[in-house]
């Protein structure tokens, strides 16, 4: 959940395309609900409520790889045709066998035996960070290591957005700030505008490029006769 909630502000990922299923619900984040992880019926019910389809990806995380709630959820998600990914910290576990893609971080014994919030939990976070970052790069929500779909929701992020525009387009901070204002803080549109697009053209190019700034910039440069370096 820590990784998932950052996808919207960092990459502009729509929250209605992100579902969290946690044994014991969100309450379990602040108050332990150990018994819930054995509730297979709960997993089936919550998966059904999420209306999983073959268009979805379902990621199951369990340090032991044997948690009934997680294993059952992955098993039923696969029956529904979803792409399933299992993340565990022990080899040869049911979760890794049930998932179509198995990711194992064999972290071994914990410093405090059984306290998987330590090595196992840290390794899981690294895997999820790497996975989500790779997905967002692949979907074109970055450009040359910069966040192109970041939510401009406070002064710090506004300054960062201006810097991103200037670094991508080579424009001055003042010019970049003006374009961000004209675009209504829509960072991808502002980037294209700073590169020379009219606002309507920028939105059209982004729509045709599946919202990828890199692809939209390449299309604009090609149409305007510029040589694109393919960055």
Contacts of 36 (CB under 8 A, 6+ apart): 23, 24, 25, 28, 42, 69
Whether 86 and 115 map to the same domain: the answer is: yes
| Whether the Cβ atoms of residue 39 and residue 71 lie closer than 8 Å to each other | no
Q: Is there a single domain that holds both residue 70 and residue 156?
A: no
Structural domains counted in the chain: 2
pLDDT in tens, 147-165: 999 999 999 999 999 999 9
Separation between Cα atoms, residue 168 and residue 173, nearest integer Å: 12
Work out whether strand 83-88 and strand 101-104 pair parallel, antiparallel, or are unpaired. Answer: parallel
39, burial (CB in 10 Å: exposed 0-12, middle 13-18, buried 19+): middle
DSSP result, 129-144: HHHHHHHHHHTT-EET
The residue from 6, 198, 208, 226 that is catalytic is 6
Asked whether residue 230 carries a pLDDT value surpassing 50, the answer given is no
37 is catalytic: yes
Largest CA distance in the chain: 64
End-of-domain residue from the set 138, 164, 186: 138
Per the structure, the complete domain to which residue 27 belongs is given by 2-138
Output the pTM of the full model.
Answer: 0.83
Residue 230 in domain: no
228 within some domain: no
Q: Is 31 an annotated catalytic residue?
A: no
- pLDDT for 108: 87
Catalytic residue among 31, 37, 49, 155: 37
Do residues 97 and 74 make contact, with C-beta atoms less than 8 angstroms apart? no
Q: Is the predicted pLDDT of residue 229 greater than 70, yes or no?
A: no
Domain endpoint, select from 77, 111, 138:
138
Q: Looking at the structure, do residues 133 and 163 belong to the same domain, yes or no?
A: no
What pLDDT is recorded for position 30? 61
Number of helices (H), then strands (E), belonging to the chain: the values are 11, 5
Q: What is the pLDDT of residues 46-63, one digit of tens each?
A: 999 999 999 999 999 999
Q: Residue 197 belongs to a domain with what CATH number?
A: 1.10.8.1080
Cross-strand partners of 54: none
Q: Are residues 128 and 150 in the same domain?
A: no
Least confident stretch, 67-76, 88-97, 112-121, 165-174: 112-121
pLDDT of residue 28: 67
- Kindly state the percentage of the chain with pLDDT values over 90: 81
The DSSP code sequence of 177-213 is: HHHHHHTTT-HHHHHHHHTT--HHHHHHHHHHTTT-H
CATH number at residue 19: 3.40.50.10490
């Amino acid at each position: 959940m820590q990784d998932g909630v950052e996808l919207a502000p960092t990459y502009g990922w729509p929250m209605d395309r992100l579902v969290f299923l946690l044994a014991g619900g969100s309450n379990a984040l602040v108050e332990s609900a150990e018994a819930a992880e054995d509730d297979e019926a709960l997993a089936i019910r919550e998966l059904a409520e999420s209306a999983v389809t073959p268009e979805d990806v379902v990621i199951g995380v369990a340090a032991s790889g044997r948690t009934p709630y997680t294993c059952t959820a992955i098993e039923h998600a696969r029956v529904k045709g979803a792409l399933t990914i299992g993340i565990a910290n022990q080899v040869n576990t049911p979760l890794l066998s049930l998932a179509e893609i198995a990711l194992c971080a064999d972290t071994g014994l914990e410093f405090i035996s059984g306290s998987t919030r330590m090595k196992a939990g840290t390794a899981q976070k690294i895997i999820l960070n790497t996975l989500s970052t790779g997905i967002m790069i692949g979907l074109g929500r970055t450009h040359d290591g910069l966040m192109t779909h970041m939510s401009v929701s406070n002064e710090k992020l506004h300054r960062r957005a201006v810097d991103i525009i200037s670094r991508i387009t080579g424009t001055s901070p003042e010019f970049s700030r003006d374009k961000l204002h004209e675009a209504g803080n829509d960072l991808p549109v502002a980037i294209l505008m700073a590169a020379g697009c009219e606002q309507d053209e920028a939105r059209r190019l982004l729509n045709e490029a599946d919202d990828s700034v890199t692809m939209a910039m390449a299309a604009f440069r090609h149409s305007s006769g510029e040589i694109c370096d393919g960055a």
